[in-house]
Amino acid sequence: MFAKADKKQVRIQDPELIDAYKRLEESEERFQLAMKASNDGLFDWNLKTNSIYYSPGWKKMLGYEDCELPNDFSVWEKLTDTEDAERAWELQKKLIAKEIDRFVIEFKMKHKDGHWIDILSRAEAVFDKHGEALRIVGTHVDVTERNKAKAKLKDSKNYLSAVFNNTQDIQILSEYVSHRKFKVVAVNKSFLTKLNQFEIHLSEEDILGKDLKDLVIDMLALDERICNYTLNNYQKVIETDKKISHTEKVVLNSAPYYSETTYIPIHSSEDGTKLVLYNSSDITKEKVSLKKLKYSEERFALAVKGSNDAIWDWSDLDSDLYWWSDRMYEILGYKPGEVEARISNWIKWMHPKDSGKVLKVLTNHLEKNDAYQVEFRMKKKNGEYVWLFARGESVRDEKGKPVRMAGSVSDITDRKRTEAELIKAKNKAEESDRLKSAFLANMSHEIRTPMNGILGFAELLKTPKIRSVKKEKYIDIIGKSGTRMLNIINDIIDISKIESGSMELELSDSNVNEQVEYIYAFFKREVEEKGLMLQYHNGLPSEEALITTDREKLFAILTNLVKNAIKCTKKGIIEFGYLKKNKDLEFFVRDTGHGVPKHRIGVIFDRFVQAENIEEIDRQGVGLGLSITKSYIDMLGGKIWLESEEGFGSTFYFTIPYQILSEEEKLVKNGKDGEDYNELLKLELNVLIAEDDAVSSALLANFMEKYSNKVQQVSSGIKVVEACRNSSDFDLILMDMRMPELNGYEATRNIRKFNKDVVIIAQTAYGLSGDREKAIDSGCNDYLSKPIRKKALVSLLDKYFGNGRAKKS
């Protein structure tokens, strides 16, 4: 009835179909270009026909052109290590049987030139509505260089310090204790940040030292099955000394978290400690099902979305417009479509120092067909710069003229930062070794010199019938050499105590004027023998110059600085003294010596620095005096600095707190215990103890029994604020500055908003310089450092409640 239509005459008239074909054609072309330029390789294995598609990038990472390898599954089998292929087969079987959702595996494949490369493969299966596997699709990534870097840096402490707290991956370092028992020794910032995202509020102090099982079950609230699974992996790593990698799913606070997890064995070369590094990369966002790749548009979209690289397509080289994938917007901090993808924007955002290099590489590619691969910096939306690695390929017409370019961009900021940290750490280590070598050489010289004097002149004393004049001279030289030797030994002992933290303060009353005058008298003769003048200046009358400090350390500080001035001054004047400035005494030691070069002022207080410059100045010592001086000043709660001009002399300044002895300390020095104050024993204070450590809280409560009729104890910052809101009757709060939920500084600020009268005493285990000022600034009345001494506490009670000074009526 109807004539058979001639196929050649059929024309598609529907505009929507025409547009769909055009988009499909463009997507296919864009997909092919992206696959050529991408760092990743893509494969698509049809399980029904056993046919397979390999992207050009897949072949290129093995050294082959697209035309050199057929799309045949046997290619993978021939080029893959036999044992690795068997492991992959087992995973593929499990994937098809739905025993696993996806697999991630590393294996070795042979490059065209014969060497082996490491491949990271990720894959998922596509099933029909009956649950039968139709295809396996996935990606291959060349991780050879990454693995080489990991192996090289396995035992590097510099790598651990540079990377551990800068990586976005979660990392937990645990020490092996016994079978299936591990102790957490370090966690990185990313781990704590991830816990906060899941509303699990734990600090580093809460976690460190905990048994791994306790962390998993008690603190993270994970079930026994996950705990056993984790401990089994840890134990297997210890037993095999091989890393384990796989994908994990964990539910934290009812929210799923997917990760690519690696357990890495680490052995300490120093003491044989066995450690396991748990590294977790968050792939929750990447955990998407791969769909059927029916059309090139779908395949391209999946490749772009699944790649960590941004994809770009400059389809018309004569146009300013080109196309970006969403990942490019993400890297630069914009939302998709927020800014236009234009070449002019690209150039405008590029770092000025990199634009010339990029333009040269692009020009060479377009004109000479050189490879387009370049690293450069680009400005993000927030003004910061991000490091990028761009690569691309062009499409050329029959005359070889480029008409189109497409490629990929990788964010390499973390890699660049790590490289810079490693270089910095390496340089610092080399500098430290150099300074230590100079120090040891100088120390050897300084010890041998007085020893030579002692032994040499002791031998001369054995000379028969030695004249008494010479004998006295030799004995004097031996004495001076012994004193010099003793000074060197004392410096070394002092710096060792400071390093180990065993150097302690011994606070007592000290008249600053007397110390200044004694030092003047002590050095006056030596200074005058060199033809110099020595002057001193006391900034307070004698009755106001009695302060609380460590008198021996203050004496050592002034002695070191004056001796240093004498050594460095050949003519002129040396003067020293102090002035009272606000709450501090500011001391100075000024000379008219050779001065200090500008490049050395910043390191003058560093250890070993004098040793490397020992030939510049005729001086004695091992270069520890100024370092010890600075440490003493830090311990006293002050600071030190230098003003100097080369050739015109130097002035060293330092401060110490101007604080008067408390009444309780004066009584103790007279042999009376502050607890004998009958007046204090009559106090009936209402006391609130804010302390999260049960032992410390109990100890404070015991201290306060004699002076209070009511003691309430709370264990967090929030609870102490609530207690004060509920009652205005508290006379005294003993506030621990480090508590959960709300620290002591914030709790004090909150209380001061509605209660200005209650006496708040800060207590902290740190006792660092500046802690007292920080506590006072937050609203505390005074400050105690742990361990709390009963006498110090009684002294503060007398200060604030003696004679009824602050007690409520």
Q: Quote the percentage of the chain above a pLDDT of 90.
A: 19
Closest to 483 (Cα-Cα) out of 459, 523, 517, 449: 449
In this prediction the pTM is: 0.33
Instruction: For 434-492, give the secondary structure using H, E and C.
Output: HHHHHHHHHHHHHHHHHHHHHHHHHHHCCCCCCCHHHHHHHHHHHHHHHHHHHHHHHHH
pLDDT (tens digit per residue) in 674-714: 444 455 666 788 999 999 888 788 888 888 887 888 899 99
Domain formed by 308-503, architecture? 2-Layer Sandwich (3.30)
Residue 760, pLDDT score: 95
Residue 4 has pLDDT above 60, yes or no: no
* Helix runs in 644-770, H state only: 663-669, 678-681, 694-704, 717-726, 744-752
pLDDT (tens digit per residue) in 291-343: 333 444 455 555 555 566 777 788 778 788 877 778 888 888 888 878 888 88
556-570, 640-654, 766-780: which has the minimum mean pLDDT? 766-780
Residue 759, pLDDT score: 95
Whole-number Å distance between alpha carbons of 15 and 9: 18
Q: Do the domains 685-802 and 308-503 match in fold?
A: no
Residue 608 has pLDDT above 60, yes or no: no
Q: Please say whether the beta carbons of 578 and 556 come within 8 A.
A: no
Domain boundaries, the chain: 29-145, 167-288, 308-503, 504-657, 685-802
Residue 374 has pLDDT above 60, yes or no: yes
Q: Does domain 167-288 have CATH number 3.30.450.20?
A: yes
The CATH H-level (homologous superfamily) assignment of domain 29-145 is PAS domain (3.30.450.20)
How many of the other CB atoms lie within 10 Å of CB of 492? 15
Residue 446 has pLDDT above 70, yes or no: no
Residue 118, pLDDT score: 93
The CATH number of domain 504-657, selected from 3.50.7.10, 2.30.30.170, 1.10.3720.10, 3.30.565.10? 3.30.565.10
Q: Please say whether the beta carbons of 639 and 587 come within 8 A.
A: no
Q: What is the mean pLDDT of residues 214-243?
A: 88
Residue type, 580: K
Q: Does domain 685-802 have CATH number 3.90.1150.10?
A: no
Greater model confidence, 207 or 672: 207
Residue 326, pLDDT score: 81
Q: Please say whether the beta carbons of 736 and 763 come within 8 A.
A: yes
- DSSP codes, 330-379: HHHT--TTSS--BHHHHHHHB-HHHHHHHHHHHHHHHHH---EEEEEEEE
What does pLDDT average to over the chain?
Answer: 79
Whole-number Å distance between alpha carbons of 493 and 488: 9
pLDDT (tens digit per residue) in 743-794: 999 999 999 999 999 999 998 765 455 677 788 889 999 888 777 777 778 8
